[in-house]
């Protein structure tokens, strides 16, 4: 059974065809309560799939144009199709971040990539800043040989001014919470146009990873999904 570098390289190549990338992974330990793997028995390893910047967007929009217009969650459907195909070839079970009950994607990502949360709740990446996300995960019935993870700089630790906590018109984000309802009311309301058309002002205020910032139309798409 291929459990090492070739397996991971084959999966990465399959994902790259759709602008997706592997975001690391780990073997579950005795203390974990893993979700079922491909056979239904608890999974032994997980590989996270995601995006840096908006790289999957052109692939997704091409797919979208060929599908009926009334799909409720088209990005989830696309992710499921594309990642499901790669999972099938690799003998894995694919799961998504919006599958219910929610799986702990951010906890998995912290473990897989050594990332930590920004004050906005979004994990901070040393290269991509706040401009990355998870589109799925592959669950395996066997362990995988992972390289030893390098330690990762958490940029927020050295960011004294924290501009991400100063741009929101309703101060929805504070050091330890997110006022979901206040944000939603503002985004939906008469003064929410900047958030609706250009994305969250707090997220856009972070000075890191700007080369990966999602274009305005992509941010508007995510904001519309958030505020519907
Ligand atoms: C429910 C949810 C929300 C809820 C949070 C409600 C709550 N208080 O839990 C709401 C609707 C507020 C939300 C909003 C957003 N979310 Co959200 N959300 C999720 C989702 C689907 C489930 C979270 C969960 O309960 N997990 C189960 C628990 C057991 O797992 P966990 O790893 O321990 O969960 C952590 C998160 O819940 C986090 N958390 C708690 N509150 C909030 C609030 C925000 C804003 C974020 C980002 C995280 C966060 O703390 C937990 C401890 O580590 C996850 C995907 C997932 N499966 O995790 C995405 C996810 C956390 N969201 C994400 C993002 C990007 C956002 C947004 C910033 C952008 C967007 N999607 O439009 C918005 C914020 C809107 C804005 N102002 O811009 C990303 C984060 C990516 C990253 N780089 O870290 C995720 C991982 C989805 C993805 N596809 O990648 N989200
Ligand atoms: S502005 Fe500073 S504290 Fe906020 S997310 Fe960016 S680096 Fe982190
Ligand atoms: S989307 Fe707008 S209202 Fe919501 S937290 Fe960001 S800046 Fe504030």
CA distance 162 to 168: 12
Proximal ligand: closest to the CA of 125? 1
| pLDDT band (50, 70, 90) for residue 92 | very high
CA distance 53 to 170: 27
The strand pair at 116-117 and 123-124 is best described as antiparallel
Give the pLDDT of residue 89: 95
Give the pLDDT of residue 2: 61
Strands (E), the chain: 21-27, 45-52, 93-95, 116-117, 123-124, 132-140, 173-174, 177-178
Query: Does pLDDT of 12 surpass 80?
Result: yes
Proximal ligand: closest to the CA of 169? 3
Q: Nearest residue CA, atom 8 of ligand 2? A: 156
Give the pLDDT of residue 174: 86
Backbone torsion region of residue 69, taken as left when φ is above 0, otherwise alpha when ψ lies between -120 and 50, otherwise beta: alpha
Query: Does pLDDT of 69 surpass 90?
Result: no
**Is 12 near ligand 3, meaning CB less than 6 Å away?**
no
Give the pLDDT of residue 98: 96
For 137-192, how does the pLDDT look when each residue is reduced to its tens digit (9 = 90+)? 999 999 999 887 778 999 999 999 999 999 999 999 987 789 999 999 999 999 99
Query: Does pLDDT of 66 surpass 60?
Result: yes
Give the pLDDT of residue 61: 95
Residues with CB under 6 A from ligand 1: 97-98, 102-107, 121-123, 132-134, 178, 180, 183, 200, 203, 222, 226
Give the pLDDT of residue 6: 85
Mean local confidence (pLDDT), 79-101: 97
Query: Does pLDDT of 1 surpass 60?
Result: no
Proximal ligand: closest to the CA of 200? 3
Residue 14 near residue 7, CB atoms below 8 Å: no
User: How many A from CA of 185 to the centre of ligand 2?
Assistant: 24
Sign (positive/negative) of CA torsion 70, 72, 74, 78? Answer: negative
Query: Does pLDDT of 215 surpass 60?
Result: yes
For 102-142, how does the pLDDT look when each residue is reduced to its tens digit (9 = 90+)? 999 999 999 999 999 999 999 999 999 999 999 999 999 99
User: Which of helix, strand or coil describes residue 30?
Assistant: coil
| pLDDT band (50, 70, 90) for residue 228 | confident
Query: Does pLDDT of 226 surpass 60?
Result: yes
Percent of the chain with pLDDT over 90: 87
Give the pLDDT of residue 175: 77
User: How many A from CA of 97 to the centre of ligand 3?
Assistant: 22
**Is 172 near ligand 3, meaning CB less than 6 Å away?**
yes
Q: Nearest residue CA, atom 4 of ligand 3? A: 183
């Amino acid at each position: 059974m291929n459990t090492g570098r070739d397996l991971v390289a084959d999966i990465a190549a399959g994902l790259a065809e759709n602008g997706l990338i592997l975001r690391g992974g780990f073997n579950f330990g005795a203390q974990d309560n893993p979700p079922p793997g491909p056979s239904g028995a608890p999974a032994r390893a997980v590989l996270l799939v995601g995006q840096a910047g908006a790289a999957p967007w052109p692939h997704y929009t091409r797919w979208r144009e060929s599908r009926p217009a009334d799909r409720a969650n088209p990005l989830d459907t696309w992710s499921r199709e594309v990642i499901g195909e790669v999972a099938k070839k690799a003998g894995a079970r694919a799961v998504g971040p919006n599958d219910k009950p929610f799986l702990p994607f951010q906890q998995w990502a912290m473990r897989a990539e050594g990332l930590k949360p920004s004050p906005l709740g979004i994990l901070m990446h040393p290269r991509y800043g706040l401009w990355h996300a998870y589109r799925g995960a592959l669950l395996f019935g066997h362990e995988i040989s992972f390289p030893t993870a390098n330690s990762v700089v958490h940029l927020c630790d050295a960011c004294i001014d924290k501009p991400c906590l100063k741009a929101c018109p309703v101060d929805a984000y504070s050091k330890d919470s997110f006022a979901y309802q206040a944000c939603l009311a503002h985004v939906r309301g008469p003064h929410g146009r900047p958030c609706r058309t250009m994305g969250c002002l707090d997220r856009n205020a972070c000075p890191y990873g700007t080369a990966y910032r999602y274009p305005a139309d992509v941010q508007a798409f995510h904001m519309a999904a958030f505020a519907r």
